[in-house]
Amino acid sequence: MSSLGRRGIHFFHKRNAANVPADLLEKGQSRVIDASLTLIRERAKLKGELVRALGGSVALTSLLGVPLGHNSSFLQGPAFAPPRIREAIWCGSTNSATEEGQIQILTSHINLSSEHFRCKVVERIKRPTGATDVGDVPVQEIRDCGVDDDRLMNVISDSVKLVMEEAPLRPLVLGGDHSISYPVVRAVSEKLRGPVDILHLDAHLDIYHSFEGNKYSHASSFARIMEGGYARRLLQVGLRSITTEGREQGKRFGVEQFEMRTFSRDREFLENLKLGEGVKGVYISIDVDSLDPAFAPGVSHIEPGGLSFRDVLNILHNLQGNVVAADVVEFNPQRDTVDGMTAMVAAKLVRELTAKISKL
């Protein structure tokens, strides 16, 4: 919580906040939530109109930040990740091309009157795809008003739905800890009116029933997803920190779990996945700690023996399926290297996912 938020709550405690009428507090919280959703709605509407004016896109990625870290069982640094990822995306040390030869055009930065832009598209970009950005859900501002996690999760879900209402936009969510995957997947499934298949890359199962008594813990997000019927098939890849409860929960929900100790045996299957048949599409959730810390040290839970960055790209590039949404979570800038190595890794994951989601 911000220092200002803490001071505000301490002030109310000193003033005997129990005497504040409940309806007064409720109305105030509702105003803040409505204002937050209005900002997301109008940003999404503007970006959707711009994309439709440009034409040619069947699906186009829209970034949505969810800077939430309080459901982490250890460090809360992932709350600071979305702006660091955006900075890395636009870092001058790299370009916007993906490994499959696509160029990512962020519509927020397009000058439609620029003849240079038109010539660049016609002459140099053979397979242009795009991304837009609707900003962040103001998580901390909402929490500072005393909003509980039940309502906060609804705000996140509603924000995702607002993005999806502006066709052809599809959400790519920047976390944040892994608890955000639950409200995001829920929103995607409800909006599409049916379950999705999920490809989940992670060192951990995140399927505890209620980790440390918190049903919204980042270690319980996929239990909530499976209980809600929002996913038909869940594949978890990169696992190397597994408990008995995690295995039992996996069996309960019929989860396909692929551990790093058998990755060499499973590689051919995982690099030729075909998902999404008979459901509404494919959702990809990438926890940055699925990568070995040699490639991504900036995470809260460092687990040696993970996937290489090339392993992850091979899985993504070869995946067959209609990717309808995705998230990149658990990057912790407070543990990153001085030169922002993990931020650059997260940014490249975002670019490659954008290419996977966006369609001409």
Q: What is the pLDDT of residues 60-69, one digit of tens each?
A: 999 999 999 9
Mean pLDDT, rounded, for 32-37: 97
Q: Mean pLDDT of all residues in the chain?
A: 89
CA-wise closest residue to 254 among 236, 273, 275 = 236
pLDDT at 179: 98
pLDDT above 90 for 15: no
Least-confidence region, from 22-36, 49-63, 207-221: 49-63
pLDDT above 50 for 269: yes
Q: What pLDDT, in 10s, does the model give residues 287-300?
A: 999 999 999 999 99
CA-wise closest residue to 45 among 130, 151, 135 = 135
What are the tokens at 214?
């918190």
In which band, very low, low, confident or very high, does the pLDDT at 169 lie, cut at 50, 70 and 90?
very high
Task: State the DSSP code for 249.
Answer: H
Amino acid identity at 319: L
Cβ partners under 8 Å of residue 202, min gap 6: 178, 236, 237, 238, 239, 285, 286, 287, 289, 290
